[in-house]
Amino acid sequence: MVALAAVMMQGYQRDAAEQGESQGLAQAAVIAEMAIGPALGGEEASGARGGGLTDGLSASQTEGMHRATEHAIFHGLVLRLRVRSFTGRVVFSDDGSTSGGVPVADPDFQAAANGGSRAKVLNGDVDVIRVLQPLITSASGQSIGVLELYLPYEPIAKQLREQVTSTWWRMGGGLAALYLVLALLAWWTTRSLSRYAARQEHSAQHDALTGLPNRAAFRARAETVLAGAARDGGRGAVVLVDLNRFKEVNDTLGHLAGDELLQVVATRMRAALGPENILARLGGDEFAAVLPGLGAVEAMALLATVREQASEELVLNGVPLRIEASFGVALYPEHGTAYQQLMHHADAAMYQGKRGTTGIVLFSGAGAGHPHQWLMVQAELRHALERDELVLHYQPKVGLPGGEVRGLEALVRWQHPHHGLLPPGEFLPAAEHSGLIVPLTEWVLRRALADQLCWTATGQDWALSVNVSARNLEVPGFPRFVLDLLAEVGTPAHRLILEVTETALVSDMDTAVRAIAQLGASGVGISVDDFGAGYTGLSQLRGLPITEIKIDRAFVADVAHDPQSQAIVRSVIELAHGLGSRVTAEGVETPEVCQWLAGVGCDEAQGYLFGRPVPWPQVGPVPVVPSTEVEEVRR
What is the 8-class DSSP label of residue 614? B
Q: What is the pLDDT of residue 323?
A: 85
With contact defined as beta carbons under 8 Å apart, do 278 and 213 qualify? yes
d(CA 560, CA 563): 8
The DSSP line for 79-138 is: SEEEEE-TT--EEEETT---S-SS-TTSHHHHHHHTT--EEEEE-SSS-EEEEEEEEE-T
**How far apart are alpha carbons 102 and 111 in whole angstroms?**
12
415's torsion region: left (phi>0), alpha (psi -120 to 50) or beta?
Answer: beta
Choose among 449, 508, 520: nearest CA to 479: 520
Cis bond before residue 417 (omega within 30° of 0): no
Which residues lie closer than 8 Å to 191 by C-beta, 6 or more apart?
none
Edge-to-edge strand list for the sheet holding 278-283: 278-283, 286-292, 236-243, 325-332, 360-362
pLDDT tens-digit series, residues 120-153: 888 887 788 899 999 887 666 778 889 999 988 8
3-class state of residue 585 by DSSP: strand
Contact 396, 611 (CB under 8 A): yes
Asked if 554 contacts 585 with a C-beta cutoff of 8 angstroms, the reply is: no
Please name the amino acid found at residue 426: E
CB-based contacts of 299, cutoff 8 Å, min separation 6:
236, 237, 239, 291, 329, 331
CA dist 253 to 26, 246, 259, 355, 511, Å? 95, 11, 11, 25, 16
Instruction: Tell me how far CA of residue 445 lies from CA of 20, 145, 473, 481, 489, in angstroms.
Output: 112, 130, 14, 10, 11
* Stretches in the chain below the pLDDT threshold 50: 43-51, 367-369, 372, 507-508, 535, 628-631, 633-635
Amino acid at 296: A
Given this model, what pLDDT does residue 509 score? 59
Q: How far apart are CA 455 and CA 608, in angstroms?
A: 21
The closest of 403, 412, 326 to 607, measured between CA atoms, is 403
**CB-based contacts of 559, cutoff 8 Å, min separation 6:** 565, 566, 569, 593, 596, 597
Secondary structure class of 237 (helix, strand, coil): strand
Dist. CA 513–CA 501, nearest whole Å = 13
Q: How many other β-carbons are positioned within 10 Å of the β-carbon of residue 103?
A: 9
What is the structure's pLDDT at 367? 47
Smallest Cα–Cα separation from 569: which of 591, 547, 590, 584?
Answer: 584
Distance CA 432, CA 472 (A): 9
DSSP string, 279-321: EEEEETTEEEEEEET--HHHHHHHHHHHHHHHTS-EEETTEEE
pLDDT of residue 382: 87
pLDDT for 343 equals 92
Please list the residues that pair with 213 across neighbouring strands: 206
Amino acid at 347: D
Q: Which helix (H) or strand (E) holds 48?
A: none
DSSP 57: -
* Contact by Cβ (8 Å): 91, 57: yes
Beta bridge pairs of residue 156? none
Using alpha carbons, list the distances in angstroms from residue 534 to 321, 440, 500, 501, 513: 23, 24, 12, 9, 17
CA–CA separation, 482 and 608 (whole Å):
30
- From the list 495, 585, 577, the residue with the least C-alpha distance to 541 is 577
What is the pLDDT, as a whole number, of residue 221? 93
Residue 111 Cα to chain centre, angstroms: 80
